[in-house]
């Protein structure tokens, strides 16, 4: 693992501590690296209806967009599991639309557990290109 991964995973681990997960007790942290090297973090925020719960990846992405960021390099996602926990389908969809084929680093509380490219986790996306608009990540 390299230093860039270590720092991103550390930021995701720290963000995980802010998770609001009173129902599932499944705390997730995410750290999204922008093209200019900034790191924007997010944690999952649960709701009693579950359907309104927002994943850590989407919190980080929407926070970054709200702060004017538009280019992204990689995202680290940390959970307290032994096995890698990849983004859910909704997160994959939004990450693809706003980030394109970014690097996805998965980790637990101790170390990195996996590294993927989003195109491999989401091989047949529906995006603006599907309807003849813009390229993924160009929004």
Q: Give CA–CA dist 49/90, Å, rounded.
A: 17
Can you state the angle between helices 89-99 and 56-66, rounded to 10 degrees? 30
Residues taking part in catalysis: 57
Radius of gyration of the chain (CA): 14
Can you state the angle between helices 56-66 and 3-16, rounded to 10 degrees? 100
Q: Give CA–CA dist 32/19, Å, rounded.
A: 16
């Amino acid at each position: 693992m390299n230093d860039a991964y270590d720092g991103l995973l550390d930021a995701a681990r720290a963000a995980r501590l802010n998770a609001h997960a009173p129902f599932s007790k499944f705390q997730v942290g995410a750290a999204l690296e922008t093209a200019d090297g900034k790191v924007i973090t997010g944690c999952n925020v649960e709701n009693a209806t579950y359907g309104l719960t927002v994943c850590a990846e989407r919190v980080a992405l929407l926070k970054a967009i709200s702060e004017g960021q538009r280019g992204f390099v990689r995202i680290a996602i940390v959970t307290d599991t032994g096995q890698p926990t990849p983004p859910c389908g909704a997160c994959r969809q939004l990450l693809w639309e706003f980030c394109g084929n970014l690097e996805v680093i998965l980790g637990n509380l101790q170390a990195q557990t996996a590294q993927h490219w989003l195109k491999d986790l989401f091989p047949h996306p529906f995006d603006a290109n599907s309807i003849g608009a813009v390229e993924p990540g160009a929004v």
